[in-house]
Structure 1
Amino acid sequence: MLRSQRERRVRTRTTYTGEPISTAGRHLARMGEDEPPIPAAAEEQAALETRLLAKWGYTEYRAWDVPFDRSADRRRKAYPPFGFRYVVPLTNELQISVHPDLLPQFIDRVLPSVDPDSGEVWGIPGLRARVHNRYVLLARPGMDARIKIWVRRTHWDNAVARALQGLELDMVAWLTRPDEWTLEETLFIERYGHLYDYRVVGNAFISGLLRRCHALHGQVYTRYWHLWMDSVVKLEWAGGLTHRVVIDRLQDPDFGLQAALEDETWQCRCEETEGDRRNPCYWATLIDHSGLELDLRRHPIGIWEETTDSRWHDGGEG
C-alpha cells in the first residue's frame, strides 16, 4: 500500500472513531491490508456494547451540577456524539474517552446499582470496574468482553464521589461485590435478559454503530444525539450533518456498516428545508441484512447552529 493510501486510510478511520491520528495509525499498522479498518466486535463484546448504548444512548448533554432546566446553556456548549471524545475499537475490547463533564452521569447510568428490597437493578447488571492509574476497565465476571475508559484515577474517583451522592452503599453493587454478581443482578438477567439483546447479527450492527459514532459528527454544531431501542433502533440528532452525509458514511464500502436504505427512492432534503420547521427532512431508515431497522431522525436547529471544532481528544491513549 502506498504511503498516501495509508495516510488516507488513517484519516478516514479518525472520521469514524474520533481517535488521535497517532492512535489510529498505530492500530492500523498492526492490521493486515485485507482486514477491515474498523474491526468488528466478538459476540460477547458486541452484546456488551449493545447494552452500553441501551443504557447510555439517551444521555443528557450537560455537566453533573448543571440543572436540566438551564437548557439554553446547552445550546452553546458542544459535546461529541454520546459524550465520547473518541473510541478505539478492538475485537474483544472497546476503548473510550468520556467527556469529563459527563463522566459522573456515565457512572450513574452504566454501572449497576440494586434495590435489595424490590430486586430492581439499574445500569448494566454484572458490570464491574477495576481502577488503574490511567484507565478503568469495565467488565462482567465470567464474560469475555470489556470497556476500557481512558481516565486518570484521581478524575475517576472524583466522578464516582459525585455520582454516588445520596446512595446507600449496599445499593452500589459494583463496589460492594467487585468480583461477582449479586443475587439481584442474576435474577434480573434471568427475567429480563432478553431486553436489549438483538441476537448475534443485531448486536453486531448496533456495536458497529457505536464503533463509528463520530461518523455522526462534523464541523457544524450539533445540539445532541439520542439513541433508544425497541423493535427498531432510533437515532435522533439536532443540527449538524445532513441525512445524506451520515448515510453515505454508514454505507461506505470500506468503513461503513452493511446496511441499505429501506426506500431506495428516498432523497435527502436537509439543506433545502433547513429553515422550514413545518416540513423538515426528518426521517430516513437503514436496514441491516438481519432485518433490524435503524431510523435516522434529524431535527433542524436553524439559528442555533454554529461552527465548532470536531476533534474532542486532548492527547492519545491506547
Structure 2
Amino acid sequence: MRRDRISRLADRRRLYTNETYDQARSQLRPDRQPIPTPPTDQLHFETGLWHEIVDSRGDFTAYPFGIRRVRPLADTIELEMESERRANEILRRILPSYEPDGEVHGVPALRIRQRTQKGIEVHQCGRATSAWLTGLPARAWKRIEAETLDTIAELAWRPLWKGPADWSEEELTYEQRWNTGEWARTFRAGAWCSSGLLRRIANFHTITPVDYVSGYKGLGIRGYDGLRPVRWCLELDHRRSVHYRQQQLVDALTNPELGLPVTRAHHLDPIYPPHETKNWIRLDDEGRTGLIELRFTTITYTSLRPDSKKTQPLHQEMAETIRARVEAVLAC
C-alpha cells in the first residue's frame, strides 16, 4: 500500500480501536483486512467474551463497557481495561465456576494461559483461541484473581479455571445441555456480528458523544425466520443538549473497508409504539444472522449518573474523562 494510504487507513482504524497511530499502522498489511476477521474458533470465543462483557456492566465507566482500547489482531485480541474495578468485574464474569446445582458460570473451558507483565492471556481448552486482558500491573491481576477465588469459596462453588487443562466433566455436560441445538446454531451463525462489535468497540466513544452505553442480547423479533437473528440491543445515553450523531456511527459501522457487512434494516417490531422507536436504528446483514439495534436516548441526570440512589457518587476522575471524550467528539 502507498504510504499516504497507509497513514489514512491507520488514522481511520484508530476510530474503531483507540490504538495509538503506531499500533494501528503496524497491523496494516496489503493482503489483510484493516480490522481482520479471526478464524472460526477465535470468532466464537470472542462472541462469548462480548456476551459476558456486555452482561457484566451495570454502572458508569469512563469508556463504553470499561474498555479503553482494543487491539484486534489476526488470531488474538487485546482488551485494555480502564480500571482495576472494571477488570475485576470482567474477569470474575468470564472465569468459569461450577454451582452445585449443575450450573456453570462464565465461559466454559476458559483458562488462564499466561500471566506476564503485559497482563493475562486467556484461552479456551482444546481450541485455537486467545485474548489478552491488559491495562493493569501484574500484581493487580494477581489480586483480582485471588479476590475472585474468595468470592467463589464464599458461594461454595468450584473454580473450574483452576482445574484440569482440558474441559472438565461439568463443563462438557453443561456445553452439551445448553450450547447445542437450534439456538446455539443461531448464536454461532451471528458470531461475526458479536466479534465484530468487540473488535470495533471504540466506535462507541470516538464517533458518538455518549456518556453511558449499556446493552443486552435481545430475543427474536417479528420479521425474521425462527430464532434469527442474534440481536444486540445497545442503549446510547446522552446528556440533554448533546446532539446524537446517529449517521456518523451508522457510517462507521457500515463502512465497506473497516465496518461490518450490515446495512439499515427498515422493518421495526410492531409491538413498540412509533414514538418509542423514532431514535432506534437497526442494522442487519443480507443473510439476517446478526442484528445491531442502536437506541439513542437523552437522559436528565446529575453528575453523569442515571440513578444516583442505587450507586455510589461518580468518581471525579471518571466524570472528567467522560466529559473530555464527549467534548473531543463534539469538537470534530
Match of 1:296 in 2: 294
Q: What's 2:141 paired with?
A: 156
Is the 8 Å Cα contact of residues 45 and 146 (structure 1) preserved in structure 2? yes
User: What CA deviation, in whole Å up to 9, does each residue of 1:254-290 have, x standing for no partner?
Assistant: 11111111129xxxxxxxxxxxxx7784311111122
Q: Distance in 2 between matches of 1:197 and 1:139?
A: 21
Partner Cα distance (1:132, 1:230) in 2: 39
Q: Mean alpha-carbon deviation: is it higher for 231-240 or for 80-89?
A: 231-240
Alpha-carbon offset, residue 303 of structure 1: 6.5
CA deviation profile, 1:173-229 (whole Å, cap 9, x unmatched): 10233x122211110000111356536542112211111111122373422232324
**RMSD (Å), alpha carbons:** 2.7
Q: Is the 8 A contact 1:51 1:196 kept in 2?
A: no
Q: Is the 8 A contact 1:47 1:197 kept in 2?
A: no
Cα pair 2:209 2:245 within 8 Å, conserved: no
Distance 1:138 1:198, change over 3 A: farther
Partner of 1:142: 126
* Alignment of 1:255 onto 2:240: no
Whole-angstrom distance in 2 between the partners of 1:61 and 1:144: 31
TM-score normalised to structure 1 length: 0.79
Out of 41, 46, 49, the residue aligned to residue 49 of structure 1 is 46
Matched, 1:227 2:224: no
- The farther-off stretch of 185-194 and 285-294 is 285-294
Mapped partners of 1:200, 1:228: distance in 2: 14
Task: Report the alpha carbon displacement of residue 245 of structure 1 after superposing the two structures with TM.
Answer: 1.8
Counterpart of 1:235 in structure 2: which amino acid? L
Describe how 1:84-163 pairs up with structure 2 within 5 A. 84-100=67-83, 101-115=85-99, 117-130=100-113, 131-150=115-134, 151-163=136-148
The residue type paired with residue 297 of structure 1 is R
* Residue of 190, 193, 213 corresponding to 1:202: 190
1:20 corresponds to:
20
Letter in 1 for 2:138: R
SS in 1 for 2:10: helix
**Count of aligned positions:** 280
Q: Could you list the runs of 5+ residues in structure 2 that have no partner in the other structure?
A: 221-230, 268-274, 305-321, 328-332
C-alpha distance in structure 2 between counterparts of 1:297 and 1:196, whole Å: 26
Cα distance change of structure 1 residues 134 and 148 upon mapping to structure 2, 3 Å threshold? same
Letter in 2 for 1:175: K
**Counterpart code for 2:205:** H
2:55 counterpart of 1:58: yes
CA offset at residue 236 of structure 1? 1.9
Amino acid at match of 1:309: R
Cross-structure match for 1:268: none
Does 86-95 or 43-52 show the bigger shift?
A: 86-95
Counterpart for residue 281 of structure 2? 284
Listed one character per residue, the Cα deviations across residues 233-256 of structure 1 (whole Å, up to 9, x for unaligned) are 222221285322211110111111
Which structure's relative contact order is higher, taking Cα pairs within 8 Å and 6+ residues apart? 1
Cα distance in 2 for residues equivalent to 1:280 and 1:259:
20
Quick check: 2:17–2:71 contact (8 Å CA) kept in 1? yes
Q: Does the Cα contact within 8 Å between 1:112 and 1:173 map onto a contact in 2?
A: yes
Matches of 1:52 and 1:147, distance apart in 2: 9
Distance in 2, Cα, partners of 1:207 & 1:170? 30
Pair 1:302–1:199, CA change in 2 (3 A): closer
Distance 1:288 1:213 in 2: 19
Where do 1:180-195 residues align within 5 Å? Answer: 180-194=166-180
- Superposed CA deviations along residues 111-131 of structure 1, whole A, max 9, x for unmatched, are 11112x311111101000122
Gaps of 5+ in 1: 63-73, 265-277, 312-318
Q: Do 2:205 and 2:325's aligned partners in 1 also have CA atoms closer than 8 Å?
A: no
Q: 1:310 to 1:149 in 2, by over 3 A?
A: farther
2:64 is aligned with 1:81: yes
Q: If the length of structure 2 is used for normalisation, what is the TM-score? A: 0.76
Q: Indicate how the Cα distance of structure 1 residues 279 and 289 shifts in structure 2: closer, same or farther if over 3 A, else same.
A: closer
Q: Which amino acid in the other structure matches residue 182 of structure 1?
A: S
Structure 1 residues 302 and 247: CA distance shift in structure 2, 3 A: farther
Does the aligned pair in 1 maintain the 2:52–2:90 contact within 8 Å?
no
8 Å contact 1:61–1:79 — kept in the other structure? no
Partner Cα separation in structure 2 for residue 47 and residue 197 of structure 1: 11
> What's the secondary structure of 1:245's corresponding residue?
helix
The alignment partner of 1:102 has SS state of helix
